[in-house]
Amino acid sequence: MNVPEIGDRLTDKSAVPDEAAVREWMGEAAFGCWTALREWISASYPGVVAPDWIYGGRKHGWSLRYKKSKAFCTLLPEYRAFSVVIVLGGVERDKVEARRDELGPRLMALYDAAETFHDGKWLRIAIASDTDLGDAKALLVLKRPPRA
């Protein structure tokens, strides 16, 4: 049996992960941030985006995607960690550029380093602190203004 390493993904295809499995895999610190972001999304976008577990194969494993007609964000449960992926289209990138001074330096470094594809700029943000959570929330608000 392989010993998991920090950042490894949940790859057991046999069952969709439940809250207990995610908590055990991620650990209490990461799970606290995971829960905080999920609660913020639910409170800020009630009835707008819905979470859906998707399986990305053995390499990518399980992820929790929030979407309505198009993807809002995807949460990646990882061993002792988690990340959020936010895809920014052209209009959203213009909003980020217009607010560069208001966004954190770490977030802007990730943004600048991210490759732009035909469907947008894919940012993967590791969430390990309240600052990281704030960065993710700021991008999500630019992507879609909250309802609440």
Task: Give residue-wise pLDDT tens across range 90-110.
Answer: 999 999 999 999 999 999 999
Task: Give residue-wise pLDDT tens across range 62-86.
Answer: 999 999 888 899 999 999 999 999 9
Say yes or no to pLDDT of 148 above 70.
no
Q: Residue 70's pLDDT is what? A: 86
Q: Residue 43's pLDDT is what? A: 96
Sign of torsion over alpha carbons 115, 80, 102, 106? negative
Domain locations in the chain?
19-143
Q: Residue 57's pLDDT is what? A: 92
The DSSP letter of residue 80 is: T
Q: What is the DSSP string of 2-45?
A: PPP-TT-B---TTS---HHHHHHHH-HHHHHHHHHHHHHHHHHS
Query: pLDDT class for 2, splitting at 50, 70, 90?
Result: confident
Task: Give residue-wise pLDDT tens across range 9-53.
Answer: 999 999 999 999 999 999 999 999 999 999 999 999 999 999 999
Round to whole Å and give the CA distance between 93 and 110: 13
Query: pLDDT class for 126, splitting at 50, 70, 90?
Result: very high
Query: pLDDT class for 1, splitting at 50, 70, 90?
Result: low
